[in-house]
Structure 1
């Protein structure tokens, strides 16, 4: 086995055909790198092209001048010589996550230089060189071999590219584009500060990673909580899905497990202090710490103010504010002892305006309390390493909203939203990752509003 950035690539059987080896290697590469845009400048089998397109996202594309499957919607076929195509794409400012090139074609070095000088290969993008040289200069006795050796040497000498040579019988050479800011060589005329090198040596996307962090999400069995659980897990965190309905929590935890995310399902009523303590203690016992507390559970019981009962008021506040405080306090104590932690509370656009025409006094008031609680804890705890922020979503599109009874309300809501649509749970995912990451370390007590502009009207 050979290793590429910590992932094992199996050698193709030496008796397999070249086409089979090519497909094995490229399948693994696209699974690892998840490209959105591919530039093909060498001949690939129809089967390999089809496989590449299968792994591209719905909005992805493969640009080629080669013969390709006629019905493949993700393929953009360009006319002209490879050099003409490259110059045209460079002029358009196009960039690619993966580029395929043949070391034995005419002018491969020229193609390579056009790609790199035109910034057509994205940072961390991968270049795959077919028919790469695996011989020393003395072992080459034909023009094709010299051409391949020259091409391979050019890439090896390029400080902008990290390389790995796959098993010699594959004839494939792979390079990953890196930033010169990642090298240890002094760069003339460059201010080598945190902006250039990256804070702590990490680029901004790396600083959004949550690798090694431990998170929990209350109300994680559905809706916004489910979306938060997936987002935190995809960013690298271990995630405990907490919900009153254990079956729903288990379903989401299973989804995360299928994506390779460490997860656990737990049942709890956050309005009960003993339930919250049990959950927090179990997470610490299992994973040793809590880095991210995502307090998302909440309820809404609509009624006109003159008809709101104390029972409805108390039930709403017991979950939305009292329960949230219990969670903040329990998780906060763990985080304060650690000297680090991120608490993210789900508030609402209703903390800023009075949504209408529905009447929801208890809900609106409780969510305003969430914001003030967040601001208070955020200022009290930041100097001890704990940041507390909240997210205020607008009206989120759920199956319930599409019921016949609520259709008239949806029409009114849409008229009040500058964006012209309801929020999707996926509109909120990047925010929770940002607030959970070190990239937001200087932010505390903030109410991050994501409502399509509704609170501005």
Structure 2
């Protein structure tokens, strides 16, 4: 058996990973009784190795069409001519082009980290840069550090064609100088990817760590950390690059600030994360129960119910809570509407169920809770959002309009709270969030809506009362008061749409609220981060109630 091969055998004695199987086959080849058996085993080992990379490409999601074009252009470009003509400082090689799989790998890490700002040290032709940029949100940014201006010019047309050019900032110059400039500007990264000159890795790593350029929960990902096997090959010929990578790997492994795992992916990938401080004195430093603040906003394992969840604000709430990790029951009086939103959530991988209920009936409210618990396994979060609004001058408001408004907005909301509260009180925990309105704090004008205003003021008082009654039994009750929200109710109303100009003059922010403006607030109120908040009316109105 070759030196060190015994360390590549699975602890059970049965080879498991492709490398273990390869070692096992080659070990048998070395002990083969004749040349024929040795050849057979070597051919088996060859097929095992030769098929790995093609198989990985086959079973992984391919790069986008534009990224494929860029890869092809990178592999076919006359780099030697570009260098001989003085267009590049260094003689570039097509082998430096990251393939589609490498780009997809880094882009996937960005998705897992919910990254918004990413650093790439060593762009070359930008194939990984493009893959990452396509993964980032519209306000995300990739800072790609590249020594050659030619590479920036080469990649820009592809960035533009893919529609990500505004998300990519190619910084030309020595990477260490560029890092210093970015640090001075206050730029920080969710993820940094190092794939440049191997002799510079250790310096770049020290800059990132010593200047705290990686945000909490972020990572440094380093390519080529196996250096074609030369970092660990016992009898390998030493060279400058292999020595630099070996020194880098040893330094990172000994760095008490981080944890590192090296993956035998392509030419080796190291994923480096900062450790939690071991000398922290309290939960301010360690995070409550070990949770960083963003983890405290997660709703993993929770079940949320949203009334009026089929459209408008309720639909936005459903998506927000689902994205934060909760399973969602969409409650609506119209089955088709509830099912449509539940299907949207399911398409995003969110557990969801549609529930039909008339919240003005106590039995429907009780059934709504029971169906949610039966379908999703519990009820931790309840958002009482269903409501109606009709406009009439006070002297002309019909009695049936008043009764209907209070029946839905006030009585219905209370019946929901009552049914939800019984379940949560029995469980000893829960979050109830009611949709009130800025109309609880002022009289919106010029529209006339006395029934709506009064019903939403009652919602605030219900919230405050229940918040006091249930706080010591683990159930918080809060409400949210949005300003005027730009929903279909306004867009499709001939009576309300002409009022927008007057409303905008009353709002310091100068615009109506969008449903997306309310999403982060609902997640906060539903999360453990708001565990000490109860009976509160959270106002999101662009300053409307201040004037």
- Taking structure 1 as the reference length, what is the TM-score of the superposition? 0.91
Tell which deviates more after alignment, 152-161 or 336-345: 152-161
Q: Give yes or no for contact 2:123–2:145 (8 Å, CA) kept in 1.
A: no
SS in 2 for 1:200: coil
Q: Map 1:170-319 onto structure 2 (within 5 A).
A: 170-178=267-275, 180-181=276-277, 185=278, 187=279, 192-319=281-408
Answering whether residue 189 of structure 2 is matched by residue 96 of structure 1, we say yes
In structure 2, distance between residues paired with 1:405 and 1:317: 22
Tell which deviates more after alignment, 373-382 or 45-54: 45-54
> What is the aligned counterpart of 1:76 among 159, 163, 169?
169
| Partner in structure 1 of residue 435 of structure 2 | 346
- Count of aligned pairs: 441
In structure 1, distance between residues paired with 2:325 and 2:136: 22
SS in 2 for 1:65: strand
Tell which deviates more after alignment, 135-144 or 13-22: 13-22
- CA displacement 1:287-308 (0-9 Å, x = unmatched): 3321111000000011111111
Q: Give yes or no for contact 1:242–1:266 (8 Å, CA) kept in 2.
A: yes
In structure 2, distance between residues paired with 1:372 and 1:92: 48
Distance 1:146 1:270, change over 3 A: same
Q: Give yes or no for contact 2:504–2:510 (8 Å, CA) kept in 1.
A: yes
In structure 2, distance between residues paired with 1:139 and 1:95: 41
- CA displacement 1:337-358 (0-9 Å, x = unmatched): 0000111000111111111111
| Partner in structure 2 of residue 150 of structure 1 | 247
> What is the aligned counterpart of 1:29 among 69, 92, 109?
109
RMSD over aligned CA atoms reads 2.1
Tell which deviates more after alignment, 378-387 or 21-30: 21-30
Q: Give yes or no for contact 1:103–1:151 (8 Å, CA) kept in 2.
A: no
Answering whether residue 208 of structure 2 is matched by residue 115 of structure 1, we say yes
Tell which deviates more after alignment, 222-231 or 59-68: 59-68
In structure 2, distance between residues paired with 1:31 and 1:387: 33
In structure 2, distance between residues paired with 1:386 and 1:139: 66
Distance 1:48 1:307, change over 3 A: same
Q: Give yes or no for contact 2:103–2:132 (8 Å, CA) kept in 1.
A: no
In structure 1, distance between residues paired with 2:217 and 2:380: 28
SS in 2 for 1:202: coil
| Partner in structure 2 of residue 440 of structure 1 | 530
In structure 2, distance between residues paired with 1:106 and 1:170: 16
In structure 2, distance between residues paired with 1:14 and 1:391: 52
In structure 2, distance between residues paired with 1:346 and 1:99: 41
Tell which deviates more after alignment, 36-45 or 360-369: 36-45
Cα offset for 1:218? Answer: 0.1
Instruction: List structure 1 segments (4+ residues) > 6 angstroms apart after TM superposition.
Output: 14-18
Q: Give yes or no for contact 2:384–2:433 (8 Å, CA) kept in 1.
A: yes
> What is the aligned counterpart of 2:237 among 141, 144, 148?
141
More helix by share: 2
> What is the aligned counterpart of 1:62 among 142, 146, 165?
142
- Taking structure 2 as the reference length, what is the TM-score of the superposition? 0.77
In structure 1, distance between residues paired with 2:266 and 2:528: 44
In structure 2, distance between residues paired with 1:62 and 1:160: 25
Cα offset for 1:310? Answer: 1.1
| Partner in structure 1 of residue 11 of structure 2 | none
Higher-Rg member (1/2)? 2
Distance 1:309 1:25, change over 3 A: same
Q: Give yes or no for contact 1:103–1:129 (8 Å, CA) kept in 2.
A: no
Cα offset for 1:404? Answer: 5.1
- CA displacement 1:301-345 (0-9 Å, x = unmatched): 111111111100111111000100110000000001000011100
Q: Give yes or no for contact 2:382–2:433 (8 Å, CA) kept in 1.
A: yes
Distance 1:116 1:137, change over 3 A: farther
Answering whether residue 503 of structure 2 is matched by residue 413 of structure 1, we say yes
Tell which deviates more after alignment, 56-65 or 415-424: 56-65
